[in-house]
A and B are shown apart, each in its own frame.
Chain A
Amino acid sequence: MSAATTSFPNTAPAWDLPSRGKVAMAGLIIAESAIFTIFVVAYLFYLGKSITGPTPSEVLETPIFYTICLLSSSLTIHLAAKSLERDYRRLFLGLWLLTIALGGLFLYGTAQEWHRLIYEHGLTISTSLFGTTYYSLVGLHAFHVTAGLIMLSVVAIFGLIGRMGVSQSDRVAVLSMYWHFVDAVWVVVFTVVYVLGR
């Protein structure tokens, strides 16, 4: 401890503290992870316990294309945040809109899957345990994607009217933490629902 040699409080070294936005977002992510954990545990616990059909292996199709869309949006938002830090505004805006488009495509994929399950296979949230756990787990994730898209769109509107500059890059970094979290959760949900669960 070299600091022990300084006996006067005013000669303390530069006082560096973490950013409150990032710490708070980390707190929110911890809390959200606990919520998702409970839903994932419920899904795994009830695998194969449904009394009536259809079963996951009969009706679920692996959404590989839409998964690639969502995961690559993590890359685009990262690049967007980096370009805003260097004040490349047009590049930021382009990558940001691409992120929104990829997220929107993913949501469209979920909607299409749900439409197929409901109208072709008659599977709703009240049909069986599979329906209950599937729609609530995937739905909880889709809800987070939707919330993320709303926040991303607000930033996009500010970007389109030219208000997004390097001064906003810290806030954008916080938002991009949330979006990475949503993507990471999808990796877990995908593994549980479409790989382990079938």
Chain B
Amino acid sequence: MSSNVITVPVGQTEARPWVDELHQWLTTVDHKRLGILYIVSALLFLVIGGVEALIIRTQLMHSHNNFVSPQVFNQMFTMHGTTMIFFVAMPVLFGFANYLVPLMIGARDMAFPRLNAFSFWLSFLGGLLLYFSFLGGSGLYGAGSAPDVGWWSYAPLGARAFSPGHSSDYWTLALLVSGFGSIGTATNIIATILCLRCPGMKLNRMPLLVWMNLVMAEMVLLAITPLSAAQIMLLIDRYLGGHFFDTQAGGSAVLWMHFFWIFGHPEVYVLIIPCFAFMSEIISVFSRKPIFGYPVMVAATVCIAFVSMSVWAHHMFTIGMNSYANSFFTLTTMAVGIPTGIKIFNWIGTMWGGMIQFKTPMLFSIGFLFQFLIAGLTGIMMAASPFDWQLGLSYFVVAHFHYVIVGGILFALFAAFYYWYPKITGRMLSERLGRWHFWLFLIGFHLTFDVMHIPGLLGMPRRIYTYEPGRGWDTLNLIITIGAFVQAIAILVFVANLIISYFKGAEAGNDPWDAWTLEWSISSPPPAYNFATVPSVASRRPLWDLKHPEDPDSRYE
């Protein structure tokens, strides 16, 4: 055998024994491999969280349904929320940041490669810990169970008396562990961007994706840590007999809500800002125009980060605060709409007069623009506290935030997948399957989440296990459930596309989209060392300068 191995041409890594290959993936500190690990693990959890969503929707398909028991239903919505936020959205965005940021700033790797690997394994093992609760949640008491007190685990539900066994402990520890991983990655992203830029890559020449990931990482440092602190307090309450959230000893349940939402609302922006980053790159390339209003985009991003730190209590209007707090949080929440609106206008300004190419990434980006706008508008409605008193804790809220997360974040992510898959694998994703994916998902999304606003307006509360017939909710819920299954089929098309194109997709070459940022200047997939010679840039679009030496951007800076 060994004589055969020598004859294998260099580059055919498939010939290695799979144990070696696995060992390499498990011990890697390469930012590209860790990025892929983040993304693949997130896709795995996306499928699990998606199945949980389908179970929820099947149960609510018609009134008095008995598909699952109330206990299982509670576990499903708790696990669905926790999984999708902490083990799908965060890791997939960290994965793209890991993969793209060093390539876009012309660096060899992240600033701390081993910290990078450590952070990934912390968050992945945190996810496994969460799912181990299905086996070990009740410990020695019984058959085992998963956490079932909602993804925000409001006090006193998280206390020992209401959450016996270990189900809440798995939830707490999983979030604590993955939270430490997030802090490590965020620190790493900041150090990479500030310290490893190639010559000429001044802050005002960085691609917007890099800028927005810098802001995202700063927000992670400030927003994830309050959650970690609150989880430590909950552990002290549960294991050391503390009284932080124990109302019988004078503790406050509302304080937990404050701590949770000081994390919870900035978290939304931690997730959406990297999606703004994808949009800023993709819309610009497929409109064949440089981004409109670069400095304003950066300023708007920083502005969103600032304002979003002081809006958290709009999740608590229904709990009852004084009128000053209500007014303050109404005003700050509405103020977020201003920088966000600036961004939407800038993307439209980028498309205006451009030679728009309607490839799949661009289709998803345009979907994002429309849907994120609608999500923002229902957000402004909910920001008015009197309106929120009426519709808080109803399906209107569920429809609103799924419009943000699915219609906004997930659409942007799909665009990013279609745009950067050729760079990551060296193969193009199929346009035909991509179009099926886009239209099926678009139809499914609107069937589900447009319609979901209506039962909310009719008064259907969230988190109910079933409902009485004759309230006008039945048909609407059936349509919502059908839409959910259409989305599931679209996801299957997407996964099939990922797998088929990996083996049979067209060769991508270095630069299939004729783009302008540094990652497209090297081969696809990039070599382990990234850049053979350290690049040196003179403008915001270094590849444009390279392709058009007669009219470089640097002339106008």
Contact = CB atoms under 8 A, between A and B. Distances in A.
Interface string B428-444: 00000000000000000
Interface in B185-204: 186-188, 190-192, 194-197, 199-200
A92 B272 CA distance: 48
A150 interface: no
B68 interface: no
B543 to A, nearest CB: 13
B200 A12 contact: yes
B221 A50 contact: no
A35 B112 CA distance: 23
Interface in A37-58: 37-39, 42, 45-46, 49-51
Interface string A1-21: 000100111101001011110
Contacts of B250: 46, 49-51, 128-129
A42 B190 contact: no
B183 A31 contact: yes
Interface stretch (A22-30, A62-70, A156-164, A189-197): A22-30
B194 A125 contact: no
Contacts of B195: 17-20, 23
Contact of A24 (B112, B222, B242, B554): B112
Contacts of A38: 225-226, 229-230, 259, 262
A31 B536 contact: no
Interface in A106-153: 125-126, 128-129, 132-133, 136, 140
A30 B241 contact: no
Interface of A is mostly: helix
A184 interface: no
Contacts, number: 123
B495 interface: no
A35 B537 contact: no
Interface string B223-239: 11110111011001100
Most buried by B among A18, A24, A50: A24
A9 B243 contact: no
Contacts of A32: 225
B23 interface: no
B197 A125 contact: no
A158 B513 CA distance: 53
A45 B229 contact: no
Given A126-B240, A128-B243, A45 B225 contact: no
Interface of B: 111-112, 183, 186-188, 190-192, 194-197, 199-200, 217-218, 221-226, 228-230, 232-233, 236-237, 240-244, 249-252, 255, 259, 262, 536-538, 554-555, 557
Interface of A: 4, 7-10, 12, 15, 17-20, 23-24, 27-28, 30-32, 34-35, 37-39, 42, 45-46, 49-51, 125-126, 128-129, 132-133, 136, 140
Closest 6 CB pairs of A and B: A126-B241, A38-B229, A27-B187, A34-B225, A132-B242, A9-B538
